[in-house]
Chains A and B, each alone.
Chain A
Amino acid sequence: GAVVSQHPSRVICKSGTSVKIECRSLDFQATTMFWYRQFPKQSLMLMATSNEGSKATYEQGVEKDKFLINHASLTLSTLTVTSAHPEDSSFYICSARDFSGGSSYEQYFGPGTRLTVT
């Protein structure tokens, strides 16, 4: 089945620093990847849609200069949280869509990255 990995699984950083999170589709090519964040006891909120070879599309209210997304290849998208602050502490989850067969609407989720900013 389609597998999506994320790295790192957990990261703790100091306020003001930047953190990069990687999302990889391991056994399929993903022209589109999605980035979500999830606060405790809340649901997933879509942050941005990442398309290979083009600029990401950000949801309303998400600062594109703070959350930098790069989809450099068909199997890798990265999210960089710049100048992180404690309120950026959250669970970040990526997903990827596999257009090669079956349902083109199904998204496969990565295991998530727990970011804590101190």
Chain B
Amino acid sequence: GQNIDQPTEMTATEGAIVQINCTYQTSGFNGLFWYQQHAGEAPTFLSYNVLDGLEEKGRFSSFLSRSKGYSYLLLKELQMKDSASYLCAALQGGKLIFGQGTELSVKP
């Protein structure tokens, strides 16, 4: 079976740091993706983790622990334009299995 959980919504303040968590239970796991999606648009790629540890890319970082079935996306120096839905997706057998998405609202 497969199950991917992430919080439905989060609120943070401009300039702050926010961490969006994702837990997963899938068979045949091949890595974890994070995507950003603005309303009415397609998802855009943020990160891909296949090994344990932290991957840093500018203001965004992503962490994976395969043994714990856990990942997080860390957003630093939040900007208003970061308000969007953030999707966690597990790669399983060449297919992406998405979580329900976390709606992030950045307030001034």
* CB proximity of B21 to chain A, nearest CB, Å: 16
86-102 of chain A: CB within 8 A of chain B? 91, 93, 95, 97
Note all chain B residues with C-beta closer than 8 A to A112: 40-42
Residues in B with CB closer than 8 Å to A106 are 33, 45, 48
**Residue of B with least CB distance to A2:** B45
Cross-chain contact A109 with B44 (CB below 8 angstroms): yes
Among B31, B35, B44, the residue within 8 A (CB) of A105 is B31
Interface of chain A: mostly helix, strand, loop or mixed: strand
User: How near does chain A come to B5, taking the closest CB pair, in angstroms?
Assistant: 11
Chain A nearest CB, measured from B6 CB (Å): 9
Q: How far is the CA of A116 from the CA of B97 in the complex (A)?
A: 25
User: B30 interface residue, CB < 8 Å from A?
Assistant: yes
- Cβ of B94 within 8 Å of any chain A Cβ, yes or no, is yes
User: Contact string, B17-57, partner A, CB cutoff 8 A, digits 1/0?
Assistant: 00000000000001101010000111111001000000000
Contact with B along A14-44 (1 / 0, CB 8 A): 0000000000000000001010000001111
- For chain B, which range describes its interface: under 10, 10 to 19, 20 to 34, or 35 or more residues? 20 to 34
Task: Say yes or no: A105 contacts B30, CB within 8 Å.
Answer: yes
What residues on A are CB-neighbors of B98 within 8 Å?
43-46
For B9, the closest partner residue in chain A by CB is A41
* B31 contacts A111, C-beta separation under 8 Å: no
Point out which of B44, B87, B98 has the most chain A C-beta atoms below 10 A from its C-beta. B98
The answer, yes or no, to whether B91 is at the interface (CB within 8 Å) is yes
In contact, B95 and A110 (Cβ under 8 angstroms): no
Residue ranges of B at the interface with A (Cβ–Cβ < 8 Å):
30-31, 33, 35, 40-45, 48, 87, 91, 94-101, 103
Interface residues of A (CB under 8 A from B): 32, 34, 41-46, 49, 91, 93, 95, 97, 103, 105-112, 114
